[in-house]
Amino acid sequence: MTDFKDRKKNSNVGKVVIVTGSGKGIGKSIAKEFAENGYSVILNARDESELKEAANEIMQETMADDNNIIFIPGDVSREENCKSLIDGAISRFGRVDVLVNNAGIKGASKKITDLTVSEWSEVMDINLKSAFFCTREVLKHMLKNSMWNNNIDNNFSIINISSVHESLPQPASVPYAASKGGMQMFTKTVALDVAESGIRVNGIAPGTIDTDVNKEVLDNEYKKKDEEQHIPLHRIGKPDEVAKVALFLASSDASYITGTTIYVDGGMSLTS
């Protein structure tokens, strides 16, 4: 007898997801979660060797068919690379059901008076401009193929990975916080633009998650304990806790949710 999990997995077979910034961290965990649940997955990041390693790891851990887990390297802050990513996915699988805009960097930790134009632009380009480029290109496909007829299983979905700092200020992080604040409004506005077509656009705002981005804090016991004291649940989050929310937002279980950002932060945003 097929159990509930297997039925859900089988219902996703044939669906395709692109996850940017998926060579490691939250992005890799999201890619793995979708692969475990029957999706064909396109991984993307700038480092090709890192991507290859991530793809092999996902295939081994999920027993996914290697024909359904591919990677397309490229810097998605560049318009031509975003076009190649979306075109490559459609050329390979004929469709894209879900786009996860996860690519991002934290950037230099400096006060605004010490920031250079290039440091500002790098964060904005990778964190926000890449989401614009990839979303615009994938929507050309989604809008053409949208089957909005109250059939919730046919809905396309875009998920933007933001940060708790889209609404919670952080010292010496002006470009990062500004880019994530922009991501919040980007999510809401695009959701409004495409709602008539049944395409849903949502965000996820992680707090402190156990990834390389937070290595400086996690590798220092004093800093780690101090960080945990500022989180109401008193622990650091895991990448798969973000990944499971992404899968939910892409599913028909979230069919009436759009323009929303879900905070996966252990209650961190409650302390502002």
Q: 65-83 pLDDT, tens per residue? A: 889 999 999 999 999 999 9
176 an active-site residue? yes
Q: 192-215 pLDDT, tens per residue? A: 999 999 999 999 999 999 999 898
CATH number of 4-271: 3.40.50.720
Per the prediction, the chain carries an average pLDDT of 93
Instruction: Output the pTM of the full model.
Output: 0.95
Q: Which 3 state secondary structure label does DSSP give 264?
A: strand
Amino acid 149: pLDDT: 45
**Active-site residue among 176, 222, 256, 263?**
176
Question: In whole angstroms, what is the distance from residue 44 CA to residue 6 CA?
Answer: 27
Q: Mean pLDDT lowest for which of 20-34, 38-52, 84-98, 142-156?
A: 142-156
What is the full DSSP assignment across 24-67?
SHHHHHHHHHHHHTT-EEEEE-S-HHHHHHHHHHHHHHH---TT
In this predicted structure, the answer to whether residue 40 has a pLDDT above a threshold of 80 is yes
Amino acid code (one letter) for 174: V
Q: 209-263 pLDDT, tens per residue? A: 999 989 888 999 999 999 999 999 999 999 999 999 999 999 999 999 999 999 9
